[in-house]
C-alpha cells in the first residue's frame, strides 16, 4: 500500500515537467551554471592572484621573450600560455589583469547605473522643467568627447586606477539616464501609477515602489551589455597611457601590447582577448537569468 | 434629501493644441465643456456617453489626476482645487477611491496582492505590516477571493478575480465615494452580473456613493439612481434614473436607449422604429455650432444649428434641447 502511494507521488513529480523537453531543461540549467562558474572562477582569480600566479606579472626574463604557449612547439612548461615581448608570463599577467579589469568595469557600471537610474526616474516621473534640465545635461554628456575628458583628468589628477573609474563614470551615466527616463515616462502614464496617486502615495513611494521595480528588467540588460564596453574602454585609456600605469597588467592593455606582434606571437593578445570575451558572454547570460528571476511573470517558466 | 457628497459645478477641461517651433496654441480641444452634477450619500450617479464624450476626463478631474480649466468640484462642501496638498492627503484621498476599467493594467505587476490591496492602508495610516495583512485578508474575503492568494502576483489571477481585487483595494479605507470607470466592460458577460451584484451589496452595506462611468445602458439601469448623458463634453440630459429610462427626452438619449435594446427582426414591424445614429461624433476641437448634437439628430431644425440650447428642467429631468423650450 505504502509502495503504491510513493510511486504515484513520483509519477506526479515527473508530470510537472511535461511540456518542456528534457534537453531544453538541461540547456537552461547549463545557461545558468556555465556563466556562474566562469564568473566565480574569474573573481577567485582576481582576489587570490598573488597565490595563484606562477610568476611575477611585472618582471620578465629577457632570455625568454616571445615564447609560445606550452602546448606549441618551442614552448616551455614553465610558461603555460607563453611570454610577451619582455619575457613576462602571459598566464600570470592574465590572472593579475583580472583584478584591474573586473574591478574597473564593475565599479564603473555600479556608479554609472546608480546615477543614471536616479536621474532618469526623476526626469521621467517629474516631467516638465526637471525633465528638460536633466535631459539637456544628458545631451551634453553624450556629445562630449570622452577621450578628451579622460586626458584632461589624467593631466589634472594623474593617471591611475581611480582616474580610470572616474573618467568612465563621468559620462557613462548619460546612456542609462536617457533609457531609464523613457521607461519612467511610460510607466508614469500607466494605470497603476494613477491608482497609486489616488491611493495617496507620495512621489517618493511611486518612484521607488512602482516605477523602479518595473525598470529593473531593462536596467539589468543594459548593465550586462556594459561589462564588455567598460573593459574595452579601460583598455583604450591604458593604451593611451591615461589609465593604469605600464607594468601593472590589465586585459585591455595586454591586448593592445600584442597588437604589433599578431603575426608572429598571436598569444600575447589572444588569451586576454578570450578572457574578455568569456567574461562579457557570461555576464550577458547571467544578466538574462537574473532578469527572468526578478520578473514574477517569468519566474515559474 | 440625503447629504450631497460631491458636486461638480460647470467643470471645464480644454487641452491646448500647439503647433510649430514656438508651440503656438492654434486651438483648444474641448474635452469637457461645462458639466454640472451632484452625488448624494448612498446613491449612484452614472455618466453615460460614447467614447470621446469626456466621461473619463471628468472622472480623472474628480480624482485630481487632471487639472480643471475652470469650474469647481466640491467634496462634502469644500472646493477640491482650493485644498492644500496636506488637506488632500488627509481629508480627501482616504475617502475617494477608484476602480479602473482595465483590470490588467491597474495593478503593479511587481507587487504581491497583499501589497496591492494594502497600499491605501500603508500609505494613509501607520500600521504594522501584520495588522495590514490581516485587514487585507478580511477585504479579500468580502469580495470572494481566497486569502491564500495574498502572496501571489496579479498575473496569476483571471480578469474577474483581478477586478474583484481592485474592488477590495478601493474599499480598503472605508471610502465614502467610489469612482467606477467602466468597471465591468473588460469582463466576460458571465461575470459582469457577479461584479455588479457585489457593488450593490457593498452599497447597501456601507452606504457608499458611486459615480459609474459607462457606455452600456443595461449596466447603468441596473445600478444607478440618477443618470447623466454626456455628448461631446457636455451633459445633454440629467436626472432621475427611472424617469429617464421611462421617458427619455433628448433625441440622443432615445438613440442610446434604442441602441441598447435587442430588437429581433420579427418584432421590428409595428413597434417603434429603432433609432440608429449615423456618422461619428464631431471633433471636440471644432464642435458644431448651436446644439452640438444637431449634425446627427433626426429631429434637428434650423434653430438647432444656430442657437445653443440651455439646460432646462422638464419633469424630473434636466434636458438640453430646443424641442422643450
Mean pLDDT of chain B: 86
Helix (H) or strand (E) holding B142: helix B129-142
Reduced DSSP (H G I as helix, E B as strand, rest coil) percent helix, strand, coil of chain B, to 5: 35, 25, 40
* pLDDT tens, residue by residue, A195-238: 999 998 999 999 999 999 999 988 988 888 888 788 878 877 87
**Cβ-Cβ contacts under 8 Å, B100 against chain A:** 191, 194-195
Side-chain-side CA neighbours of B48 within 13 Å: the count stands at 30
Alpha carbon separation from A199 to A70, A154, A212, A267, A297 (Å, rounded): 69, 51, 18, 63, 24
* pLDDT tens, residue by residue, A19-35: 667 788 777 778 788 88
Q: Is residue A97 part of a domain?
A: yes
Q: Determine contact, residues B2/B42, Cβ cutoff 8 Å.
A: yes
Mean pLDDT of A244-266: 81
Mutate to test the interface with B, among A196, A199, A213, A220 (most CBs of B within 10 A): A199
Confidence of residue A17 (pLDDT cuts 50, 70, 90): low
Q: Please give the residue that has the higher pLDDT: either B186 or A97.
A: A97
Which grid coordinates are listed for B136? 487585507
**Cβ-Cβ contacts under 8 Å, B111 against chain A:** 209-210, 213
Mutate to test the interface with A, among B86, B93, B119, B157 (most CBs of A within 10 A): B119
Confidence of residue A6 (pLDDT cuts 50, 70, 90): very low
* pLDDT tens, residue by residue, B229-268: 999 888 999 988 888 888 888 888 888 888 777 555 555 5
- If one counts every other C-beta atom within 10 angstroms of the C-beta of residue B86, the result is 8
**Cβ-Cβ contacts under 8 Å, A195 against chain B:** 98, 100, 106-107, 169
Instruction: Give chain B's contact residues with A (Cβ, < 8 Å).
Output: 60, 63-65, 89, 93-94, 96-98, 100, 102, 105-111, 119-120, 123-124, 153, 155, 169
* pLDDT tens, residue by residue, A74-118: 777 777 777 787 878 888 888 988 888 888 889 999 999 999 999
Q: Determine contact, residues B80/B71, Cβ cutoff 8 Å.
A: no
The predicted model scores a pTM of 0.81
> Would the CB atoms of A191 and B100 count as touching at under 8 Å?
yes
Q: Is residue A7 part of a domain?
A: no
Whole-number pLDDT of residue B1: 55
Q: Is residue A299 part of a domain?
A: no
Q: Is residue A130 part of a domain?
A: yes
Domain count, chain A: 1
- Is residue A89 helix, strand or coil? strand
> Would the CB atoms of A209 and B111 count as touching at under 8 Å?
yes
Q: Is residue A84 part of a domain?
A: yes
Helix (H) or strand (E) holding B31: strand B24-40
For chain A, give the number of residues.
301
Whole-number pLDDT of residue A134: 94
User: Does B306 have pLDDT greater than 70?
Assistant: yes
Q: B48 forms bridges with which residues in the sheet? A: B214, B229
Alpha helices in chain A (DSSP H): 2-15, 22-47, 49-52, 90-126, 128-143, 146-157, 161-188, 191-198, 203-205, 212-239, 251-257, 267-294
Cα gap B43→B239, rounded to integer Å: 13
ipTM: 0.85
Whole-number pLDDT of residue B54: 86
Whole-number pLDDT of residue B245: 86
Cα gap A140→A124, rounded to integer Å: 18
User: Does A273 have pLDDT greater than 70?
Assistant: yes
Could you list the residue range(s) of the whole structural domain that residue A195 is in? Answer: 41-294
Instruction: Give the closest-approach CA distance of A193 to chain B in angstroms.
Output: 8
Q: Is residue A36 part of a domain?
A: no
At A230, which CATH number? 1.10.3720.10
Amino acid at each position: 500500500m505504502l509502495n503504491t502511494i510513493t510511486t504515484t507521488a513520483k509519477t506526479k513529480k515527473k508530470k510537472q515537467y511535461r511540456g518542456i523537453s528534457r534537453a531544453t531543461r538541461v540547456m537552461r540549467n547549463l545557461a545558468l551554471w556555465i556563466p556562474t562558474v566562469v564568473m566565480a572562477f574569474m573573481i577567485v582569480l582576481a582576489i587570490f592572484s598573488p597565490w595563484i600566479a606562477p610568476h611575477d606579472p611585472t618582471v620578465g626574463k629577457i632570455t625568454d621573450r616571445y615564447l609560445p604557449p606550452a602546448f606549441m612547439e618551442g614552448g616551455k612548461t614553465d610558461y603555460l600560455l607563453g611570454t610577451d615581448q619582455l619575457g613576462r608570463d602571459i598566464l600570470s599577467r592574465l590572472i593579475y589583469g583580472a583584478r584591474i579589469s573586473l574591478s574597473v568595469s564593475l565599479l564603473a557600471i555600479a556608479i554609472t547605473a546608480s546615477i543614471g537610474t536616479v536621474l532618469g526616474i526623476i526626469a521621467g516621473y517629474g516631467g516638465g522643467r526637471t525633465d528638460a534640465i536633466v535631459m539637456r545635461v544628458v545631451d551634453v554628456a553624450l556629445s562630449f568627447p570622452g577621450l578628451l575628458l579622460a586626458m584632461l583628468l589624467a593631466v589634472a589628477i594623474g593617471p591611475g586606477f581611480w582616474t580610470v573609474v572616474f573618467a568612465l563614470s563621468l559620462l557613462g551615466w548619460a546612456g542609462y539616464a536617457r533609457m531609464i527616463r523613457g521607461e519612467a515616462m511610460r510607466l508614469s502614464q500607466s494605470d497603476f501609477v494613477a491608482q497609486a496617486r489616488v491611493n495617496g502615495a507620495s512621489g517618493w513611494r511611486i518612484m521607488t515602489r512602482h516605477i523602479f521595480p518595473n525598470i529593473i528588467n531593462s536596467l539589468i540588460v543594459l548593465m550586462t551589455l556594459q561589462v564588455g564596453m567598460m573593459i574595452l574602454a579601460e583598455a583604450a585609456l591604458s593604451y593611451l597611457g591615461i589609465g593604469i600605469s605600464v607594468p601593472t597588467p590589465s586585459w585591455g592593455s595586454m591586448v593592445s601590447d600584442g597588437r604589433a606582434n599578431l603575426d608572429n606571437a598571436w598569444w600575447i593578445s589572444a588569451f586576454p582577448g578570450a578572457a574578455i570575451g568569456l567574461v562579457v558572454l557570461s555576464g550577458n547570460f547571467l544578466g538574462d537569468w537574473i532578469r527572468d528571476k526578478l520578473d514574477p511573470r517569468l519566474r515559474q517558466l | 434629501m440625503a447629504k450631497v457628497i460631491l458636486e461638480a459645478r460647470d467643470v471645464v477641461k480644454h487641452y491646448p493644441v500647439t503647433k510649430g517651433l514656438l508651440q503656438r496654441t492654434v486651438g483648444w480641444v474641448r474635452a469637457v465643456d461645462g458639466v454640472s452634477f451632484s452625488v448624494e450619500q448612498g446613491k449612484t450617479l452614472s455618466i453615460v456617453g460614447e467614447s470621446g464624450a469626456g466621461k473619463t476626463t471628468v472622472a480623472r478631474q474628480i480624482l485630481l489626476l487632471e487639472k480643471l480649466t475652470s469650474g469647481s468640484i466640491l467634496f462634502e462642501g469644500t472646493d477640491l482645487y482650493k485644498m492644500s496638498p496636506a488637506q488632500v492627503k488627509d481629508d480627501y484621498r482616504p475617502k475617494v477611491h477608484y476602480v479602473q476599467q482595465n483590470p490588467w493594467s491597474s495593478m503593479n505587476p511587481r507587487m504581491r496582492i497583499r501589497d496591492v490591496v494594502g497600499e491605501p492602508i500603508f500609505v494613509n495610516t501607520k500600521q504594522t505590516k501584520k495588522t495590514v495583512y490581516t485587514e487585507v485578508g478580511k477585504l479579500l474575503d468580502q469580495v470572494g477571493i481566497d486569502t491564500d492568494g495574498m502572496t501571489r502576483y496579479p498575473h496569476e489571477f483571471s480578469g474577474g478575480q483581478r477586478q474583484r481585487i481592485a474592488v477590495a483595494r478601493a474599499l480598503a479605507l472605508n471610502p465614502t465615494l467610489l469612482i467606477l470607470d467602466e468597471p465591468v466592460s473588460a469582463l466576460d458577460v458571465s461575470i459582469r452580473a457577479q461584479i455588479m451584484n457585489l457593488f450593490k451589496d457593498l452599497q447597501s452595506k456601507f452606504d457608499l456613493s458611486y459615480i459609474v462611468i459607462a457606455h452600456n445602458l443595461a449596466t447603468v439601469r441596473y445600478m444607478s439612481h440618477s443618470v447623466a448623458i454626456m455628448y461631446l463634453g457636455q451633459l445633454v440630459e440629467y436626472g432621475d434614473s427611472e424617469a429617464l429610462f421611462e421617458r427619455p427626452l433628448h433625441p440622443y438619449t432615445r438613440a442610446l436607449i434604442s441602441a441598447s435594446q435587442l430588437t429581433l427582426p420579427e418584432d421590428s414591424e409595428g413597434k417603434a422604429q429603432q433609432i440608429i445614429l449615423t456618422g461619428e461624433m464631431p471633433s471636440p476641437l471644432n464642435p458644431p455650432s448651436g446644439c452640438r448634437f444637431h449634425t446627427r439628430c433626426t429631429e434637428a431644425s434650423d434653430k438647432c444649428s444656430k442657437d445653443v440650447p440651455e439646460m432646462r428642467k422638464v419633469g424630473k429631468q434636466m434636458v438640453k434641447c430646443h424641442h422643450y423650450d
